[in-house]
Amino acid sequence: MRSHYCGSLTALQVDTEVTLCGWVNRRRDLGGLIFLDLRDREGLVQVVCDPDEKALFELAYTLRNEFCIQVKGKVRARPASQVNADMATGEVEVYARELVILSKAAPVPLDSNQNNSEEQRLKYRYLDLRRPVMTERLKFRAKVTSFVRNFMDSHGFLDVETPMLTRATPEGARDYLVPSRTHKGKFFALPQSPQLFKQLLMMSGLDRYYQIVKCFRDEDLRADRQPEFTQIDIETSFMTADQVMAVTEQMIRELFQQQLQVDLGDFPRMTYADAMRLYGSDKPDLRNPMQLVDVADLLKEVEFKVFSGPANDAKGRVVALKVPGKAEAISRKDIDGYTEFVGIYGARGLAWMKVKAVGQGIEGVQSPVAKFLSDDIVNDILSRTEAAAGDILFFGADRYSVVCEAMGALRLKLGEQHGLTEQGWKPLWVVDFPMFEQGDDGQLMAIHHPFTSPVNPDPAALQQAPEQALSNAYDMVLNGTELGGGSVRIHDPVMQATVFRLLGISDDEAAEKFGFLLEALKYGTPPHAGLAFGLDRLVMLMTGASSIRDVMAFPKTTTAACPLTDAPGLANQAQLAELMIELKKE
């Protein structure tokens, strides 16, 4: 039905007879002629309808936006004066000889100026996706998956499908449940990840596995979360953490090179401890040059309890964050805003200090807290933060986690608002995570997941000092977003049982939930390791989209609904009766 894509025509096709199919993007009646911008997946081209072709011209006159039509005609060069440099096909136009309306269109319910609510865009997603920016994102996503698959194939990784109807997985988020009809009263769970299956594939001797696979989490949605999302899931036997990092880093580097002509270079590595110390985050955005500077040791003796309290508390932290040269730009009102902002993260206030001159103690600064400090202390703070006249410092003093979160977030906000965050791409690996974190009740919780191996493979050593243990895990971070994470897995049944016990999982519970894994570990499990990337986030970053919803064809709303199909919907009673379930009244 078509010889060329609209968007593919160039001067090379001049004088060629072409057949195009596409949508009327715009119709203009000008100088007795009708001009159509005809659009398909590859772009737009101008079609000219001449009144000399009477029937065609009359039909063209009935065309409205989004009519789907077929046009036959000859490509001709536009006169120099009419060349449109903004259009890929701007040097040519198609002189129409035949026109067929394939399908009419009612006036579209979306505003062409894009003043559409998210709800409207999703309800008429098929119209929203016709926008070139959206089409390009889906095309780009397809290129990314194609690249990843070819890379993985060529490195000996096998694409293997794992089940969607499975057992509840232990990732911690809520599972989506699927009632079984043949096993009444029982439920499948949709996988939060194929973690256990990919480990079982390594035990099966498959050696290297990958899959681009849907995963599910029934979470309370935030802006950047979806109930179903897609992972690039990777697992390999007989590779060290370094080797897994090397091959996956190479993949991402080549992907950026090929698709964006960007050289990411070698990814630096940073320990979790350094990331938290310098950036208050385990996914630091290195485009932002500001760092947190610890100053607790300088403030242990001050009378000001807001500082000295956390400074003397092993679980507290006190940091300064210097915004270079912005003392003037940042007003009292701005500071009030930042104070409110850090409050979101639990900080109870935000001390600040504008620097007028250095080495002059209290006299050299303007700060509501200066009066609580000595000249020496002020000088020491300015010296340690390498502050200069015109800078402003913010202080965070609280529990360790509150300071990290609040000041880490403030750092990002200040960087963006004041143009301190560079353009470009800053990847890194974060490594040497602790195995566990401690809940308020003292119970250890896994930082990654309970199948992550400690760096030291001795179960007795782990048992002895679990809080000190580092895990053999690694996260790839790009521009402050976690692109992916993984670890060396436990392949020793004794180590696995030890970790379950440290996590407060009783032997009975372990047997009930993970008995098959513990059993499988008995039969010659190879050392194995892996990693999973969030495909949606990767594509979002690469396309510059502001939400993962914009790189999915049919995403859900933030209440996990689909305005297009109106899912979820009511089930009929017969179905529920077959499943032996009943709806509870509120």
Binding site for L-aspartate: what residues are annotated?
A: 171, 217, 448, 489
Query: Residue 369 and residue 377: Cα distance in Å, rounded?
Result: 12
Burial per residue of 371-382, b for 16 or more beta-carbon CB atoms within 10 angstroms, e otherwise: ebbeeebbbbbb
Q: Could you tell me if 321 and 339 are in contact, meaning their C-beta atoms sit under 8 angstroms apart?
A: no
Q: With binding defined as CB under 8 A, does residue 196 bind a second copy?
A: yes
Minimum separation from the CB atom of position 461 to a second copy (A)? 19
Pairing of strands 392-399, 351-355: antiparallel
Give whichever of 197 and 279 is closer to a second copy, judged by the CB atom.
197
Give whichever of 212 and 420 is closer to a second copy, judged by the CB atom.
212
- Written as one letter, the residue type at 369 is V
Minimum separation from the CB atom of position 118 to a second copy (A)? 16
Q: Binders of a second copy among 17-36, rule CB under 8 A?
A: 21-24
Give the range of 180-188, 257-265, 424-432, 452-460 binding a second copy by CB under 8 A: 180-188
Minimum separation from the CB atom of position 487 to a second copy (A)? 17
Q: Binders of a second copy among 520-539, rule CB under 8 A?
A: 520, 522-527
Q: With binding defined as CB under 8 A, does residue 554 bind a second copy?
A: yes
Query: Residue 472 and residue 71: Cα distance in Å, rounded?
Result: 61
Q: With binding defined as CB under 8 A, does residue 500 bind a second copy?
A: no
Residue from the set 77, 138, 173, 455 that interacts with a second copy by CB under 8 A:
138
Q: Binders of a second copy among 316-335, rule CB under 8 A?
A: none
The answer to whether the peptide bond before residue 568 is cis (omega within 30 degrees of 0) is yes
Minimum separation from the CB atom of position 581 to a second copy (A)? 5
Q: What are phi and psi of 175, to 5 degrees?
A: -85, 150
Q: With binding defined as CB under 8 A, does residue 453 bind a second copy?
A: no
Give whichever of 163 and 265 is closer to a second copy, judged by the CB atom.
163
Structure tokens at 211: 């899959």
Residue from the set 77, 173, 178, 455 that interacts with a second copy by CB under 8 A:
178
Q: What are phi and psi of 134, to 5 degrees?
A: -75, -45
Instruction: Please enumerate in sequence order all residues whose Cβ is within 8 A of that of 543, keeping only pairs 6 or more positions apart, or say none.
Output: 136, 137, 140, 141, 550, 551
Q: With binding defined as CB under 8 A, does residue 449 bind a second copy?
A: no
Minimum separation from the CB atom of position 519 to a second copy (A)? 8
Q: Binders of a second copy among 88-117, rule CB under 8 A?
A: 102-106, 108
Q: With binding defined as CB under 8 A, does residue 247 bind a second copy?
A: no
Q: With binding defined as CB under 8 A, does residue 445 bind a second copy?
A: no
Can you say how many angstroms the Cα of residue 192 is from the centroid of all Cα atoms in its chain?
Answer: 16
Residue from the set 216, 279, 372, 429 that interacts with a second copy by CB under 8 A:
216
Q: With binding defined as CB under 8 A, does residue 133 bind a second copy?
A: no
Residue from the set 47, 200, 293, 403 that interacts with a second copy by CB under 8 A:
200
CB atoms within 10 A of CB 570: 8
Residue from the set 68, 77, 447, 511 that interacts with a second copy by CB under 8 A:
68
Residue from the set 166, 360, 374, 547 that interacts with a second copy by CB under 8 A:
166
Burial per residue of 415-440, b for 16 or more beta-carbon CB atoms within 10 angstroms, e otherwise: bebbebbeeebbbbbbbbbbbbeeee
- Written as one letter, the residue type at 584 is K
Q: With binding defined as CB under 8 A, does residue 343 bind a second copy?
A: no
Minimum separation from the CB atom of position 557 to a second copy (A)? 10
Residue from the set 86, 303, 328, 566 that interacts with a second copy by CB under 8 A:
566
Q: With binding defined as CB under 8 A, does residue 217 bind a second copy?
A: no
Q: Binders of a second copy among 227-246, rule CB under 8 A?
A: 227-228, 230, 237-240
Q: Residues marked as binding?
A: 171, 217-219, 226, 448, 482, 489, 534-537
Q: What are phi and psi of 521, to 5 degrees?
A: -65, -15
Query: Residue 340 and residue 335: Cα distance in Å, rounded?
Result: 9
Give the range of 156-164, 272-280, 398-406, 460-468 binding a second copy by CB under 8 A: 156-164
Residue from the set 54, 183, 222, 371 that interacts with a second copy by CB under 8 A:
183
Q: With binding defined as CB under 8 A, does residue 273 bind a second copy?
A: no
Give the range of 189-197, 313-321, 338-346, 384-392 binding a second copy by CB under 8 A: 189-197
Structure tokens at 402: 């509150």
Minimum separation from the CB atom of position 331 to a second copy (A)? 41
Burial per residue of 224-235, b for 16 or more beta-carbon CB atoms within 10 angstroms, e otherwise: ebbbebbbbbbb
Structure tokens at 286: 């290195």
Burial per residue of 75-98, b for 16 or more beta-carbon CB atoms within 10 angstroms, e otherwise: beebeeeeeeeeebbbbbbbebee
Query: Residue 543 and residue 534: Cα distance in Å, rounded?
Result: 14
Helix boundaries (H) for 262-419: 272-279, 296-299, 305-311, 332-344, 375-384, 400-417
Q: With binding defined as CB under 8 A, does residue 163 bind a second copy?
A: yes
